Structures are given as structure tokens and as C-alpha cells.
Amino acid sequence: MSPRGRRPAGTDTRAEIVHAASRVFASKGYQAASLRGIARDAGVDPALVHHYFAGKRELFVEAMRLPFDPAERIGAMVAGPPEQLGERIAAGFFAIWEVPESRERFVALVRSAVSDDDAGRMLREFVAREIVGRIGAAAVSPDGGERAALVASQLIGLAMLRYVVRVPQVTDVPLARLVEQVAPTLQRYLTED
């Protein structure tokens, strides 16, 4: 029985593409997955994938049910005066995690990345390229990738202790204080020699 109510044209095709994308990202990883391969898996013309999605990243965001596009948020965080880069990144990071729906989704993603090798590879490649890569482009120093990875390590460690494992010495600290403590660390990683 197909539903009879009004529905935007192509909803099923679009959903098919998203499902195919989940499968292809999980089996091939983020790096090797292509819009063409996803179209093949979904049994549709590649042009149709391009019709619905601007690119691989946008399709990944939807396939992973991310509550927003991390690349867009990072773009907003890195824009602005370089002296407050660390503070903007720290504040922006926690602002995302403090939203309950985002937090739940991210905790679930961390769990799958840690326990499942395919999910781990997929997220590793996405984080390396779309998150570390973008923060790295904002670093002053030429080894931007390494600097951004240090930033990511500090933030991921805090997210682990505050939201995933919930160690009291971290969950008890007011958010503003956490930002104040961590911002200089991020600033140093990104801007000092």
C-alpha cells in the first residue's frame, strides 16, 4: 500500500539515495565513497544524486543524521579576529554539545565509532577531512593539520569526559569556566610557533 496523502515529488527516490549512502559510506569509508557509487547502489542516475545533494559532505551529514553540517559551523567559528580563535572554537563546540538532540546523536556516533571498525573508519575520514582539515586551514602555522588535530584532541577529550563517560570533575564545571580554561590551549595550538 503506497501512501495517498500529498507528498513532495521524489521523496522516495531521495530517501533511497540516503539509504544507499549509509551503506556505501559504511562499507567504503568516507574517502573512497563517491556520489557515482552511491547512485549505482541506489539504482538511480548520478544526475539525480546531484539534483538532491550539493556534494558528498551534504549527503554524509544526512546519511549520518547529523543535526547540522559541521563544516558550516566550523566556518562560522574560524571567521573573525584571529586573537579570539580559541575562544570562538571552544564556545562554539560546547554550544553544539549542550543541545540535547545534538548531544544524543554525537554520543551515539562516538559509541559506534569506538565499537565498530567500519563506523570508526568512516567517521575518522570525515573528521580528518571536514573537521580537522577545516580548522587546520585557519591555523597560522604551516603544519596546520597537526595544530588542528591537537585542537580536536582537546575538545574530543572534554566531550568524552563531560558527555560520554561523565566524570564529575568535568560535568560539575560551569560551561563558561570550561571555555575560559580551554580557549588559551586552542589559541596556542593554532597560533603559536
| Binder among 49, 93, 189, 190 for a second copy (CB under 8 A) | 189
Residue placing its CB nearer to a second copy in the complex, 48 or 95: 95
Residue placing its CB nearer to a second copy in the complex, 50 or 166: 166
Q: Residues 35, 50: contact at Cβ < 8 Å?
A: yes
| Residue 102 Cβ vs a second copy, minimum distance, rounded to whole Å | 18
Which residues have CB under 8 Å from 137's CB, separation 6+?
Answer: 78, 144
Please list, residue by residue across 37-67, b when 16 or more beta carbons sit within 10 angstroms of its beta carbon and e when fewer do.
bbbebbebeeebbeeebeebbebbbbbbeee
> What's phi and psi for 167, nearest 5 deg?
-80, 125
Binding residues for a second copy restricted to 117-146, rule: CB under 8 A: 120, 123-124, 127-128, 132, 136, 145-146
What value does the CA radius of gyration of the chain take, rounded to a whole number of Å?
Answer: 19
| Binder among 71, 110, 118, 191 for a second copy (CB under 8 A) | 110
Interacting residues with a second copy (CB under 8 A):
110-111, 113-115, 120, 123-124, 127-128, 132, 136, 145-146, 148-150, 152-158, 160-161, 164-170, 172-173, 181-182, 184-185, 188-189
